[in-house]
Every structure is written in structure tokens, then in C-alpha cells.
Amino acid sequence: MSRLARLREKLAEKGLDGFLAFKIENVFYLSGFTGDTGAVLITADAAYFFADSRFQLQASQEAEGYEVVPVERSYFGSIAEFISGRSLKRIGVEANHLTVGGFQSLQEKLGEVCTLVPEDQLIEGLRMVKEPGELDILKKAVELTEEAFSRLQPLIVPGVTEEYLRVELLKLMYEQGFTGPSFDFIIASGERGALPHGVASQKEIRRGELVTFDFGGIYKHYCSDMTRTLAIGEVDSELKEIYEVVRQAQQAAEEAAKPGMTGVELDKVARQVIEEAGYGQYFGHGLGHGVGLEVHELPTASPKGEIALEPGMVITIEPGIYIPGRGGVRIENEIVITEEGAQSLNRFPKELLSL
């Protein structure tokens, strides 16, 4: 079933005459449009693409099956005028993207002609289960991410700064074919490793430390997300211990993941390993999240992850331990849920690597 057909089924279930999407990831998902500004309106029997003068030609070339509707740069007035001329009484909009001001402005322009209905991540819900072509891209993105990280390793030596490594890794990602980073790289060494989101600083890498690299790129519009923690020379027994606990927790969750399991249940698998080792208080974040057109998307594997896993979903498995004053460890793979269980997209070793 096509993406639009699946969306139209949801609209019928919710009693909506159409759905209006502005979020560019959703616009791309529904239409194939690769520009950075546009909106789409999907009804039961039609699909419209709202484009200003900058993108009308591009939309006509990329948004196959859509009627391109010219709009002013302000958008809302033109869209409201278009909707008002049609028998559309209830239109869903992106509650998690459209601002309160934007929602109010558009509703005021529509008046009583049409009611906007906030829908929480309706398109994002459709995006959770990846199609075969999407999985191929995501697998390739992981492969290229790991290749970039392998090429970085000779540069990870005592005396270089975290920021230097960030810049060099970014260069390598571009050389691998990425169009940009999927998020601001996290590179945290020594005591800074206790910062789960410790973005690169001017701190120098030193012997006897652990250094965590959490990074990813955008490849053919899809994101990658990978984390490895490395040792710089020999590290003490406590750091080795927490590394091994995290590795075991990560491996246990990968092996346990299967269709029908909720994100809560999967999170508990890794969390139990860490708690039984005595480090439960140092694992404060969720186990993982979906990856696709956005680096953080549905579903989530966390104490609040109520969505049941389905074949075709791609999620991260990334437990961590973060001890203030000592440092931290996180190991992250992407996995795809299969009919029988799950398969890791990563091949890079998870055993502690000392450089």
C-alpha cells in the first residue's frame, strides 16, 4: 500500500477531510520533494503541493501525482484561500510541529469554513515501519558511518583536542558521501564522559582516559547514529568494569528485541543488567529511539515507550553509565526489527578498544 493510501486510511478512521503537513521531513516522505520549504494537503481523492515561486518548478518535477498550487511567501493566507474554495470541513495538522501562533493564524484566516484538528505525530507514526528501500539506505548509512570512524582512529592520540577530532570526523563523513551531520557530534573524554550529551570541547585527550564518540550523518535524506567509547592507552579497573557492564547491557537488549515487545519492556532488559551491577543510578536516559528521516523519531525504547515494536522498525540500543568525577561509557548500535527478532545494522566491534 502506498504512503498516501495508508494516510488516507488514517484520515477516514479519524473523520478528517484532509491533512496539511508543513514539516519538511513529512513533506519529503509524502511527496518526494527535496527542497527546504513547502507544504502538502492530502484529501480523500487529491494531493496538493503548496509552493512559492522559489520551488514551484522543483515541486512539479519531484512531487509526482501532486497538483502544484502557487502561494505567496506568507503561505497561510494563500493556503486558507485555497481550502476555503473546497468542501473541506475538518483538516488535520501537525500538533508537534506547527507553532501555536501559526495554528491560530491559519485558523483565523479559515474562519468557520474549516476546523483545524491537531494530530500528534500522525505522519511520524506512518514513518515508523521502514520500507525495503528505506532500510537499504539506512544500512548503507551505518556502513559509511563506521568506515569514517575507522579512518579517524589513527588521529585519536594523546594531546589532540575533542574539537579537533570533531572537525576531522566531520570531514571524513563528508568524504564518505554524507550531506551533513545528523546532529552535533558528542565527543567527551575523561571526566567529561559523565556528560551524556557532552559536545566536543577544547579539552585535550589524555592517556588513561575513556573517550566517547556519538555521531552520525545524513545520507540520501536518512540519518545514522552510532556511539563507541574507546580507551586511550591503559585505563583503570573501574573504567574497564563499567565498560563491560554497558557492553553486556547493550548486547542483552539487542538479543532480546523482537516484534510485539514494547519500548518499556526492551528498556528494562538493559536497565536490569546495569542495576544488578550496582550502577542503576548512573543510567538516567532511555535505552533508544527510532532513526530515519530524523535522528530521533518514533518509536522510543524507554520507561515511557508504550509503542509495540514491529518488523521494519529501526531503533537504537544505547545504554550508558555516567559517573560524575570519573567518566562515562555508552555503546550504541542501530537495529532493525525482523519477523523473528532483530538484526544489528552495525558491524564495528563492541569490545573495549585501546588506542
Compute the average pLDDT of residues 52-63: 96
Q: Is the Cβ–Cβ distance between 238 and 326 less than 8 Å?
A: yes
Q: Mark 323-340 as b/e (b = at least 16 C-beta within 10 Å).
A: beebbbbbbbbbbbbeee
Reported as type and span, the H/E element at residue 188 is strand 186-189
* pLDDT digits 0-9 by tens, 133-185: 999 999 999 999 999 999 999 999 999 999 999 999 999 999 999 999 999 99
| pLDDT one-digit tens code per residue, 92-104 | 999 999 999 999 9
243: left (phi over 0), alpha (psi -120 to 50) or beta: alpha
> What average pLDDT score do residues 229-235 get?
97
Q: Which of 136, 207, 218 is nearest to 177 (CA)?
A: 218
What percent of the chain clears pLDDT 90, i.e. is strictly above it? 97
Residues in Cβ contact with 168 at an 8 Å cutoff, skipping those fewer than 6 apart: 152, 155
Which of 64-78, 207-221, 231-245, 279-293 bottoms out in mean pLDDT, i.e. has the lowest? Answer: 64-78
Please report which confidence band the pLDDT of residue 75 belongs to, taking 50, 70 and 90 as the band edges: confident
pLDDT of residue 1: 72
Q: What structural domains does the chain harbor?
A: 3-126 (3.40.350.10), 132-344 (3.90.230.10)
Mean residue pLDDT of the chain comes to: 96
Q: Where are the alpha helices (DSSP H) in the chain?
A: 3-14, 24-31, 56-62, 76-84, 100-110, 122-127, 132-152, 162-175, 237-256, 263-276
As a whole number of angstroms, the distance between CA 174 and CA 177 comes to 5
Residue 312's Cβ-count burial label (10 Å; 0-12, 13-18, 19+) is middle
Q: What tens digit of pLDDT does each residue of 31-51 get?
A: 999 999 999 999 999 999 999
Amino acid at 18: G
- Tally helices (H) and strands (E) across the chain: 10, 19
